[in-house]
Chains A and B, each alone.
Chain A
């Protein structure tokens, strides 16, 4: 079956521009997570959705970062006024929704801010 997909796979942008990253979770998965993976930093939790609501936004690094999820499915992570330190791989994962349910990760979007 189809796994988690993310687009674009690569994004190169100029400092100061806005970017949108998209995640299509596995059908039927109610929980959706966004992470950031930087070299030597591991996976950094950004935000968690249960359905369309985001009960935990504690990981968003600044107010330039926002995310939404519509129809309990597709999610978009938006970074406004990108900075060079935003360069990283942005990973999305989805799960059935229970705390112990396995998270299935997408391949990530590699963002490079010049």
Chain B
């Protein structure tokens, strides 16, 4: 079983839709949770960073962590064509420097 599971999609939505992206994980020691956005032929860039459980909002983006279910989500409101990219979740334990990434979900927002 992989440490982090993420549906690869692809996911296609009309402009303005609410997008929900999700990851599940198996290691209860994970405390730090991240979402990265990766455009084609580019490196990933950090979108959201959450410690432990709860919600975090940044503009049109909301990250949720449910540690009891080992489930994290990223919501994108009022999606834009410029949001079209691959979204990767990542997580880590409090100690050590290894980060575990999901496979990424490919999102296309259609104008």
Contacts and interface: CB of A to CB of B under 8 A. Distances in A.
A93 B45 CA distance: 10
A18 B5 CA distance: 33
Given A56-B96, A99-B95, 10 more contacts: A4-B43, A42-B88, A42-B101, A45-B101, A99-B32, A100-B32, A104-B46, A105-B43, A105-B45, A108-B41
Given A55-B97, A103-B99, A93 B43 contact: yes
Contact of A102 (B6, B8, B49, B100): B49
B97 A48 contact: yes
Interface residues of A, number: 27
Interface of A: 4, 31, 33, 35, 40-45, 48, 50, 55-56, 58-59, 91, 93, 99-100, 102-108
Interface of B: 4, 6, 8, 32, 41-46, 49, 51, 88, 90, 92, 94-104
A108 B97 contact: no
B103 A42 contact: yes
B46 A43 contact: no
Contacts of B94: 99
